[in-house]
Amino acid sequence: MHYEAVPVVDFTEIQQSNGQFPTEIADLIRAAGCCVARGVIPRAQALDWKASLLSYVKRHPDIRRIPNDSDPQIYSTFWQKAQIEARSHPAVIRTQVAMSQLYTASGDTQVDLVNQALYADRWRVRRPGSVGMFQPHLDNGSIERWEDEEYGRVFRKIWKGKWEEYDAWDMDHRAEAVMDLYGGPGACSAFRSLQGLLSIDDNGPRCGTIQFLPDIKLSTAYILLRPFFNDQNKLDMDSTYFYGAAPGQGQIVKDIWHPHLQLNKTIISCPKAEPGDYVFWHCDLVHKVEEEHNGTNDSSVVYIPVVPLCTYNIGNLIDQRKAFLEGVPPPDMPPQSESEGFEKGHEDRGTPDDILTVEGRRSMGLEPFVENEPGITNGQKSIREAGNEALGF
């Protein structure tokens, strides 16, 4: 482990600590809200996955390219073989579980920080010279943080003026919070406690990589209290304007709306992430991608978030399993046109046979959760039972 504003940890340190982060490292990650886990997957394996993904889209020109066919950065495939393997790889899951367990939950909270519910996302190949697509924002909803009562409870210390005591890693009210009151293109039907990207090429600063504001507590307190002061920095309890929180969109953060965040100084590039390194960021963390890519090779990643098993995520898991087995896009990412190819027609797409582990099968709704595991909390046991019942086991 060495210290940077974005903590960097070696996968071996997780292995040596019985699948958990050593306390000192855990505290650094909790303060920053993000980290790079190095060496999760061997370099050669990660590059093989990239080659496999690229050859798949080459064989299937009907797959949607975003933003367009001439400069594709994101590919709308959800069930390619490499994606299935990466999501179910034992080291990927081990790292996810270590990250998931940075959160804490009361014994009765219906959440399982060990088991996960799949959220199938896409992958990216950003070529040198291409322009970045994402400005500073937070995922997991926007106005919902103020509007949904349960979501609001997550931030109760901030509302009470005790922002220093706010714990971004307390799961108790997050597990039931509603983050997509309005649907829309920025909405996500699952609760991702952490976003993640698995690097499949040499990513690094100035080469089109992701950027973070690595102070989760300060940035969250500021963004949430922003509606309570006006442009003269005076307390304003009458305003009903929520800067950057348009319904159905992610929470946008901008210099003109959030001047004291000093985004031009506080947002920094994620350190180098080589093929096989895994980058995580907290669901409330400000992030964006670099505008410019001045490197010489692709900045390529597979998006694999952490999605703890909780009531909110069970319906999603059922939908994802169905979409996987049918080879169609998951409900949050419907096709944009009739000509956009469904993977259904691709015989070379991934199947359950490509899942590498029993934990992977479980996260895809194909294997029951273990209900009577010694040492689990009441909340874990009860959510596993609910999950199994909903999935028909």
Minimum distance, C-beta of residue 305 to Fe ion, in the bound complex (Å): 10
Task: Look at residues 205, 371, 387 and name the one whose alpha carbon lies nearest to residue 295.
Answer: 205
End-to-end Cα distance, the chain: 42
d(CA 312, CA 187): 14
Nearer Cβ to Fe ion (139/284)? 139
The 3-class SS string of 197-264 reads EEECCCECCCECCEEECCCHHHHHHHHHHHHHECCCCCECCCCCCCCCCCCCCCEECCCCCCHHHCHH
Nearer Cβ to Fe ion (25/143)? 143
Minimum distance, C-beta of residue 222 to Fe ion, in the bound complex (Å): 19
Minimum distance, C-beta of residue 332 to Fe ion, in the bound complex (Å): 13
Minimum distance, C-beta of residue 144 to Fe ion, in the bound complex (Å): 15
Nearer Cβ to Fe ion (197/383)? 197
Nearer Cβ to Fe ion (306/314)? 306
List interacting residues with Fe ion (CB under 5 A).
Answer: 139
The one-letter amino acid code at 78 reads F
The one-letter amino acid code at 249 reads Q
Nearer Cβ to Fe ion (175/188)? 188
Nearer Cβ to Fe ion (64/288)? 288
Minimum distance, C-beta of residue 281 to Fe ion, in the bound complex (Å): 9
The backbone torsions φ and ψ at residue 311, rounded to the nearest 5 degrees and listed phi first, read -55, -45
d(CA 74, CA 68): 9
Place of tokens 């002061």: 229
Minimum distance, C-beta of residue 66 to Fe ion, in the bound complex (Å): 14
d(CA 89, CA 360): 7
Q: How many other CB atoms are found less than 10 A from the CB of residue 162?
A: 11
